[in-house]
Structure 1
Amino acid sequence: MTFMRRPTWFAVALTIAGIALFVRLGVWQLDRASEKDELLRRFAAGAAAGVEDFGKVADTPPLDRYPRLDVRGRFVSGHYYLLDDQTHAGQVGVHVYVPFSPAGASPYLLVDLGFLPKERGANPRLPPLPAGETRVRGLYVPSPGVGMRMGGDSLPGQHGAEKTMVYVDLREIGADLGHTLYPRVLLLDADPASIYTRDWTPAVMPPARHRAYAFQWFTFALAAVVIFVLLHRKRR
């Protein structure tokens, strides 16, 4: 004699759909945790790695790592691209991107000089770029994702040397410069003498939190099974 009442098809379908959804969300969170683990690993490995030849990785950078490069060339004056609404240590500010012309190469390399806090809500005053030939060293990484884009390209409507943006789109920046760009950006090494803050730890949700969310979704799936059983057990 069974202890369960015969469930309706609707109850079965609803329970199966709920379990499938919760399990799928849990697996997705585990995948996101793995992605964040890999991202952090690449940054750590790149920071500790030796310098590579820029010419060998500039056009076709490796997909599985972020090379550390030492590039000789000149900064392109008169062009600053400020990534707005950035935060660091509780301060709101901007990341300052500038084009760099590597010696013996045609495309420009977009360089992230680092973070500067805003001054009373206004964009910070930027120090002049080094003149003449110089060397830059840092990690060669993909540009920040654009996320959900609202509106079109805002760069053509701005005038002057400094232009504000809410995402980094290399094609739009290249079009504004009238010059092609390399497919990645260079995050400059930290420099105690610079006013820029260069803390390149990715500002992402920690992998442990993703795993906690996965555990939560799997718990919901188990709860759906328990609720189904409790609702359909026979009462004495």
Structure 2
Amino acid sequence: MSSTRMIFAKISMFVSRNKIALILTVLVISILVKLGFWQLDRAEQKRQLFADYAEQQLPLNLNDPTAAEPERYASVEISGQFEANRYFLLDNQILNGQVGYQVIGLLTPQPALSDTLVLVNLGWVPVGSNRAELPQLELPQGVLTIPGRYYQPSEFGFQLSDHILEQGPWPQRIQRLDIESLSELTQLPLAPYVVLLSEQAEFGWPRQWQPQVMAPEKHQAYALQWFSLALACVVVFIFASRSRTKTTEE
């Protein structure tokens, strides 16, 4: 019992003489632990993302106005007709190491959903030798049934230009799929989602929709590193406390 009191007395003496070191140590450990839990949270988000993509279900009919809103990456289908000469080109998209655009067609649903246009991502095309000349493409014509996946773009995303839309003749180059802003800028009644054309569809351009993000296991590995660093700080502080206490006694 007396030895325990002596140990606490020594630690108290060290802490009273090294308050700044203690505060800094606690602050660093708190940051490291917080980073560890943040990585675990990111791992769970990525795990759910891959689970949503992998889930197989019967396609939901987006032409049905009474249908519930689909989940992320849910299988859907919609019938309609593409605008012949109006489409967006989403800039800075990479496929197999090559830079290009994703072709975003404007689909008029049939039967119509009021006057709303639905964005359909038809796949990837290369930039070409001259960025000043946008690809002139022939979109599929006639009434089609579009199989795909339901997707709602994030309002935040990578872009090189400050302008979301480069206004001018169609096609129009865009830097981000901010649907609300695009609807305001173009005065088009755009639905608040995108249909990613199925990779098995016979029309469109090359496309890969599986999420290209860091795997959950990597986030867990980073979390372990942060927690290990926090533990190392605790160990170093304890050893430093003992060494300083012994030196003081001598």
Name the TM tier (shorter chain). Answer: 0.7 to 0.9
Task: Give the structure, 1 or 2, with the largest relative contact order (CA under 8 Å, sep 6 or more).
Answer: 1
Match of 1:35 in 2: 45
Match of 1:101 in 2: 108
Which residue identity does 1:129 align to in structure 2? L
Match of 1:227 in 2: 236
Structure 1 unaligned spans of 5+: none
Match of 1:25 in 2: 35
Q: 1:164 aligns with which of 144, 166, 173?
A: 173
Q: For residues 55 and 132 of structure 1, what CA distance do their matches in structure 2 show?
A: 17
Kindly indicate whether the alpha-carbon contact (under 8 Å) linking 1:116 and 1:124 is maintained by their aligned counterparts in 2: no
The range that moved more, 134-143 or 191-200, is 191-200
Q: For residues 175 and 104 of structure 2, what CA distance do their matches in structure 1 show?
A: 12
Kindly indicate whether the alpha-carbon contact (under 8 Å) linking 1:117 and 1:124 is maintained by their aligned counterparts in 2: no
Shift in CA distance, 195/68, structure 1 to aligned 2, threshold 3 Å? closer
Structure 2 unaligned spans of 5+: 1-5
Q: 1:13 aligns with which of 11, 20, 23?
A: 23
The normalised TM-score by structure 1 is: 0.87
**Is the partner of 1:76 in helix, strand or coil?**
strand
Query: For 1:146-195, what per-residue CA distance to the aligned partner results, in whole angstroms no more than 9, with x for missing partners?
Result: 3367775442x521112222211101222244222222100001247446
Kindly indicate whether the alpha-carbon contact (under 8 Å) linking 2:77 and 2:147 is maintained by their aligned counterparts in 1: yes
Q: 1:128 aligns with which of 126, 138, 141?
A: 138
Which residue identity does 1:24 align to in structure 2? K
| 1:127 Cα deviation after fit | 3.1
Q: For residues 199 and 149 of structure 1, what CA distance do their matches in structure 2 show?
A: 20
The percentage of counterpart residues that share the same residue type is: 31
Match of 2:215 in 1: 206
Q: For residues 82 and 69 of structure 2, what CA distance do their matches in structure 1 show?
A: 22
Q: Please tell me whether residue 86 in structure 1 is matched to residue 96 in structure 2.
A: no
Q: For residues 86 and 170 of structure 1, what CA distance do their matches in structure 2 show?
A: 17
Structure showing the higher helix proportion among its residues:
2
Match of 2:3 in 1: none
Which residue identity does 1:94 align to in structure 2? Y
Q: For residues 144 and 197 of structure 1, what CA distance do their matches in structure 2 show?
A: 23
The range that moved more, 139-148 or 83-92, is 139-148
Which residue identity does 2:57 align to in structure 1? A
Shift in CA distance, 164/174, structure 1 to aligned 2, threshold 3 Å? same
**Is the partner of 2:14 in helix, strand or coil?**
coil
Aligned length: 232
Which structure's CA Rg is the greater one? 2
The normalised TM-score by structure 2 is: 0.82
